[in-house]
């Protein structure tokens, strides 16, 4: 559909389009680009060295990798595997599929995300606005995130499940 040089220009433009506020969504950052009654368009950022822990939700998500690279945890038959994803790759995550993202590089991975209004509202409600002095989440903020996740049907994998995928979660104590 696009010549290779045109495709890279389109991806670069999408990666830098002015967004709404940047929201820290407990593992990745989300910027809301567009909302409609049928779907939301978001830009996701997986920072270098960060991970979006294993989770699932009823709503499907589609990811177009705009820049950088990351690994995406997906099912391969009965086994969960990490797949490399780079600029131009498309990943479809069906509803209720366990998945995770991690960036093992020194550059941010930027995705265009298409999802349901419900999942978009979840990100909007749980996201903490990114500010220059943003601190790690408090135990109370993590508890609120867990409660809001349950409310929206966003199922968080356990510490043990994440560990089985090679994801080490921080320990929060109050």
**Structure tokens, 140:** 């109370």
132 located within any domain: yes
| Mean pLDDT on 40-55 | 95
pLDDT digit string (tens) for 122-159? 999 999 999 999 999 999 999 999 999 999 999 999 99
SS3 (DSSP) at 60: coil
139 located within any domain: yes
157 located within any domain: yes
DSSP 8-state assignment for residue 106: S
Q: Place 27 in a pLDDT band, splitting at 50, 70 and 90.
A: confident
55 located within any domain: yes
What's the pLDDT score for residue 11? 58
Q: How many domains does the chain have?
A: 1
CATH code: domain of residue 52: 2.60.120.10
Q: Which domain holds residue 25?
A: 4-164
| Mean pLDDT on 117-124 | 96
CB hemisphere CA count around 80 (13 angstroms): 17
What's the pLDDT score for residue 169? 86
52 located within any domain: yes
Mapped to the 3 state alphabet, what secondary structure does 79-95 carry? EEEEEEEECCCEEEECC
């Amino acid at each position: 559909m696009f010549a290779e040089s045109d495709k890279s220009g389109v991806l670069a433009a999408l990666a830098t389009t002015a967004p709404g506020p940047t929201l820290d969504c407990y593992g990745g950052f989300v910027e809301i680009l567009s909302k409609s009654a049928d779907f939301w368009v978001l830009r996701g950022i997986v920072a270098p060295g960060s991970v979006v822990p294993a989770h699932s939700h009823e709503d499907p998500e589609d990811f177009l990798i705009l820049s950088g690279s990351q690994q995406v945890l997906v099912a391969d038959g009965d086994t969960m595997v990490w797949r490399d994803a780079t600029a131009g790759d498309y990943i479809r995550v069906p509803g209720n599929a366990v998945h995770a993202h991690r960036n093992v590089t020194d550059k941010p991975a930027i995705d265009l995300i298409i999802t349901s209004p419900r999942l978009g509202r979840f990100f909007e409600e749980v996201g903490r606005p990114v500010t220059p002095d943003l601190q790690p989440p408090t135990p109370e903020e993590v508890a609120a995130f867990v409660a809001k996740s349950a409310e929206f049907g966003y199922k968080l994998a356990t510490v043990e499940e994440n560990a089985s995928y090679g994801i080490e979660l921080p320990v929060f104590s109050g």
